[in-house]
């Protein structure tokens, strides 16, 4: 019985590790309200990036936005 419990525990732990590699889910980043978008856009501009919605992204999910580095001229 104990080896079975250990096996189940390790299986669950491995699935959590796989999930962490994907990054946070959209709902963990929050809703894309005005203040959140403004703060994220300002932070992106400070890094010299271009703040955009991901292709096919939902504009109401903050996790669907990305800060792309600007291309050198």
β-strand partners of 49:
69
Cα–Cα–Cα angle for 9, 29, 37, nearest 5°? 175
- 3-state DSSP: the chain helix, strand, coil percent, rounded to 5? 55, 15, 30
Evaluate if pTM is beyond 0.85. Answer: no
Say yes or no to pLDDT of 53 above 80: yes
Least confident of 9-13, 24-28, 49-53: 24-28
Report the pLDDT averaged over residues 54-61: 90
Q: What band does 63 get if pLDDT is binned at 50, 70 and 90?
A: confident
Q: Compute the mean pLDDT over every residue in the chain, rounded to the nearest whole number.
A: 79
């Amino acid at each position: 019985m104990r080896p079975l419990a250990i096996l189940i525990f390790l299986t669950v732990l491995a699935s959590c590790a796989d999930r962490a590699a994907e990054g946070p889910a959209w709902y963990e980043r929050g809703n894309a309200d005005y203040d959140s978008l403004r703060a994220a856009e300002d932070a992106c501009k400070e890094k010299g990036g271009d703040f955009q919605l991901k292709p096919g992204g939902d504009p109401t999910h903050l996790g669907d936005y990305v800060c792309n580095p600007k291309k050198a001229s």
